Structure 1
Amino acid sequence: MTGPRLAGKVALITGATGGIGAATAELFAREGARLMITDVAEGPLRELASTIEALGAEVAAARLDVSSVREWQEVIGLVRERFGRLNVLVNLAGIVDWPGIEDTAEDAWDRVIDVNQKGTWLGMKAAMPLLRASGNASVINTSSVLGIVGSGAAAAYQASKGAVRLLSKTAAVEYARQGVRVNSVHPGVIATPMIQELLDEQGDQQPDIQRTPMRRAGRAEEVAPAYLFLACDDSSFVTGAEFVIDGGLTAY
């Protein structure tokens, strides 16, 4: 009988209080990881830390705006001080803006790119020295099905998630011989706080759900196991890959 799949590993998760973030953090805790959880929402972050502690896992929590170089440096310093190493980086923090090309405001464009695209790059840049030093590390970046196919809307979001897809691939090539694997996860329509208002308004008639062969939204608990697989040593020969979890949306 094997033990916990993340025993002895230290993982840093951004956007940890979102639906997928919380599900991933709790799953990692049950699988033996020591966790640094981060988010800009400090109240929910404290609540999540308490939940993880109740699972018997070691956890530290810190506010992190992923678009800030200074805050990334501070969080990595906390990881080094508290845990002494880092094995897994999960870039989950993200925001969405729905308008298309002409209706997207410049400041909204900049904010989405700063969080989703720049934040992913800054996270890898800040964490890479600790990840390389571990000798066996995994970076898991969060893209989207909208980083693979077009929707005719959400211009800034799609641009940022497409960038995360290729940023992950080039990082995978760069660090393949340095003990760091880099992969991307591409969720489809998942019932999380980010899109819950939209789902409440449109229900199963939401266009992307109608395009999904399973005809339903996914659950965060159905996405978290992909992060677990990529974080643990079961995926030791997997790098530069795209993990699509979309109920068949991109199968057409």
Structure 2
Amino acid sequence: MDTTGNALPVAIVIGGSGGMGQACARRLATDHLVVLANRDVGKSEAVARAFAEDGLHAVAIACDVTRPESVAEMVRRSAELGSVDVVALVAGLSPSMADGRRIMHVNLVGAATVVEVVLPVIAPGGVAVLVSSVAGHRVAAGSEVTALLDDPLAESFLDDLEVALGRELTAMEGYQFSKFGEIRMARRLVTRFAERGARIVSLSPGIIETPMGELEFRENPKKRALFQRSPLARVGTLDEICDAMEFLCSDRAAFITGTDLLVDGGLTSAVEFDLPDPSGKPIDATLVRNS
């Protein structure tokens, strides 16, 4: 309930207990009852208590996106709390966190599972936001691979993908392909959401100051080199991603659906057009920590 006694709309945040997910959940909790859907329900409960201390409304519900029955139970319980107006899929694994198949299973198969389960209950005027990545814009997938990525709930999806590639899926490919698939998912499902009177979009952050981003920066030399190409010569902040999320979930974005919002400081454009490093300076890890 809000201060007037009216029921708050529900915002489900998948992965709302840490990093970017928690930041987005906190922002949405200013005018929603937020469901912190996370496999580690104990962590979600701690976050919910912290939110409550700040006058925000949140509940923790266990959810493992790799288990359809877990997703179905989470959505059922969420719908009992009120009108499901927002579903934000922020959870995901980066290349330094798992192998290619596990990354693909969590990032793309998990996202597709959530979307399919939530579609019948999302409220008219509601929105699903798939948090993708700048990496999804840097994929050159052939037609066979793309067709497979467009059907991630197929029973033999991961096996078929590796057959098409002719080898095992690497962690980097798992990440890039999964994020590419999420962007396409928002476009492919636009009509099905419109039939509910709802919207679906993807949001692609660039290099953002998060614990996951710092891990990737330490472990991945290619990411450090990529950072140096950024026209704005800095990383993005969590507040900037939350601003984009808040906008996409608001009535101000009521005519935005079936598309991707790229929030990357111009990095994708710099890579596409092979623009020079704007700083002319060597890579310095402290730039990421201090920006």
Give the TM-score of the pair, scaled to structure 1. 0.85
- SS at the partner of 1:154? helix
Corresponding position of 2:33: 34
CA deviations on 1:146-168 (whole Å, 9 max, x unpaired) are 10114998111001000011011
Greater CA drift, 169-178 or 109-118: 169-178
| Aligned counterpart, 2:50 | 51
Structure 2 SS opposite 1:56: coil
1:96 touches 1:194 (CA, 8 Å); kept in 2?
yes
Q: Is the counterpart of residue 175 in structure 1 residue 193 in structure 2?
A: yes
1:212, distance to aligned residue in structure 2 (A): 1.0
2:92 to 94, 98, 110: 94
Q: 1: CA distance between counterparts of 2:40 and 2:261? A: 27
1:110–1:199 Cα change, 3 Å: closer
Match of 1:214 in 2: 232
Alignment map for 1:104-183 (pairs within 5 Å) = 108-131=99-122, 134-150=123-139, 154-183=172-201
- Report how far residue 233 of structure 1 moved: 1.1
1:12 CA drift (Å):
0.1
In structure 1, the residue corresponding to 2:236 is in which secondary structure? coil
Number of aligned residues:
234
Q: Tell me the equivalent position of 1:11.
A: 11
Q: CA deviation at 1:112?
A: 0.9
What's the secondary structure of 1:195's corresponding residue?
A: helix
- Report if aligned partners of 1:29, 1:55 keep a CA contact under 8 Å in 2: no
Report deviation, 1:53.
1.1
The alpha-carbon deviation at position 174 of structure 1 amounts to 2.6
1:102 corresponds to: none
- The yes-or-no answer on 1:245 pairing with 2:236 is no
Shift of 1:84: 3.2
Contact kept? 1:16, 1:45, Cα under 8 Å: yes
Give the secondary-structure state (helix, strand or coil) at the position aligned to 1:238: coil
Which among 215, 227, 238 is matched to residue 197 of structure 1?
Answer: 215
Distance 1:197 1:108 in 2: 16
The one-letter amino acid of 2:55's match is: G
Separation in structure 1 between the aligned mates of residue 47 and residue 219 of structure 2, nearest angstrom: 28
> What CA deviation, in whole Å up to 9, does each residue of 1:8-35 have, x standing for no partner?
42100001123211111111112x1111
Measure the CA separation in 1 of the matches of 2:101 and 2:224: 27
- Give RMSD over aligned pairs: 2.4
Q: Which has the larger radius of gyration?
A: 2
Q: Is the 8 A contact 1:98 1:155 kept in 2?
A: no
Letter in 1 for 2:260: E
Q: Give secondary structure in 1 for the equivalent of 2:128.
A: strand
CA contact (8 A) 2:10 2:82 kept: no
Task: Pick which of 55-64 and 88-97 moved more.
Answer: 55-64
Q: What amino acid sits opposite 2:84 in the alignment? A: L
* Structure 2 unmatched runs, 5+: 1-6, 141-169, 271-291
Unpaired runs of 5+ in structure 1? 1-6, 100-106
